[in-house]
Amino acid sequence: MSKPLIHAVAVAAACFATLPAQAQQKVDFVLNWVPGGDHAPYYYAKKLGWYAKEGIDLQLEPGKGSALATQRVGAGATPIGLADMAGVLVAKGKGADTVAVFNVYANSPQGMYWLKSSGIKGVKDFAGKKIGNPAADGARVMWPALAKANGLDPKSVTWVNIDANGKLAALKAKSIDVTTSFFNIHHIFQRELGDDMGFLAWRDAGLNPYGNSVIVNAEFLKNNKPLVDKFVKVTQRAFAACVKEPNPCVQALVDANGALKFDNELDNWKLVEQLMSDKFSREVALGVHDDKRMGADYDLVKEYIGIDKPFDVKTVYTNEFLDKSIKMTK
């Protein structure tokens, strides 16, 4: 081989080596809240390069509540987000154009916490009390439904704006009477409040709508179906992998968010697994939104909260990107 040809081959090889294996499209994904055990699968798949392999440069952004995540995705400010599904239905009636593509919480994660020593025994005792949580928290959106389902005037309570990290301190200091929290950090409330912890899971109080779901801006979905398809399938595979082997997933989360503690987030994840499991996630597909359940959730929101502009509930979710061979373990 001549020297010029050898040089040409070497240059071509060097140029090829510098090319990315696949062009990467940056995709912003706003979480419902700050990173925690329930977000481990996204960080795990990102760490292992699963998204990158599909041409997705996923940027995970901490959130400040489901309501805010829904607003941002609905307005197109962020293409993908994680939000409470009941709140998504309310927002859809107000014009937020989003489509849910993957369900995480088949069971509602919402819970109410109080001190037994306060004399509170249940929802009906909340009248006249102060409930503290972040202003954009999804529980505020759904509160009228829980209250009415239990014979309480939703307006009989006072909402107090409190940062998520300040809930327990405020409850202990008795500056609020009740707070809300997701079940996946139930163990923290138990540890901090002990035998004085009062608790009610919404799913045990006649209210069990779908919880957090991955939502996509409708226009973005229309223009990027192949990308959304890859994103959903990677995410679905990641959640299945984390159910099978949680430790590496939680470690990936902790590695990406140095302030987190492994043992705490592992406990968080184990509670998340309970929320993920229902008949449809076990028998149809992990991440599925069942048509009848979604219809019931729409009716619940319409009756107890109200939908400004009615719509066909099937326009707000799709199961088309799910791999039906991937199911929640029984």
Domain ranges of the chain: 20-106+210-316, 110-204
* Interatomic CA distance for residues 303 and 203, integer angstroms: 18
Cβ atoms of 265 and 247 within 8 Å: the answer is no
Same CATH topology for 20-106+210-316 and 110-204? yes
pLDDT by residue for the chain (330 residues), tens digit each?
A: 444 433 433 433 343 333 345 689 999 999 999 999 999 999 999 999 999 999 999 999 999 999 999 999 999 999 999 999 999 999 999 999 999 999 999 999 899 999 999 999 999 999 999 999 998 787 888 899 899 989 999 999 999 999 988 999 999 999 999 999 988 889 999 999 999 999 999 988 878 999 999 999 999 999 999 999 999 999 999 999 999 999 999 999 999 998 999 999 999 999 999 999 999 999 999 999 999 999 999 999 998 889 999 999 999 999 999 999 999 997
Distances, alpha carbon 214 to alpha carbons 31, 187, 276, 295, in Å? 9, 25, 13, 18
Give the model's pLDDT for residue 304. 85
DSSP string, 157-189: SEEEE--GGGHHHHHHTTSSSEEEEEGGGHHHH
Domain 20-106+210-316 -> CATH class? alpha beta
Give the model's pLDDT for residue 21. 52
Q: Give the pTM.
A: 0.84
Structure tokens at 17: 């080596």
Give the model's pLDDT for residue 311. 97
* Interatomic CA distance for residues 159 and 26, integer angstroms: 38
Structure tokens at 85: 């599904």
* Interatomic CA distance for residues 214 and 193, integer angstroms: 32
CATH number of 110-204: 3.40.190.10
Give the model's pLDDT for residue 7. 43
Collapsing DSSP states into helix, strand and coil, what is residue 20?
coil
Cβ atoms of 94 and 119 within 8 Å: the answer is no
Give the model's pLDDT for residue 22. 67
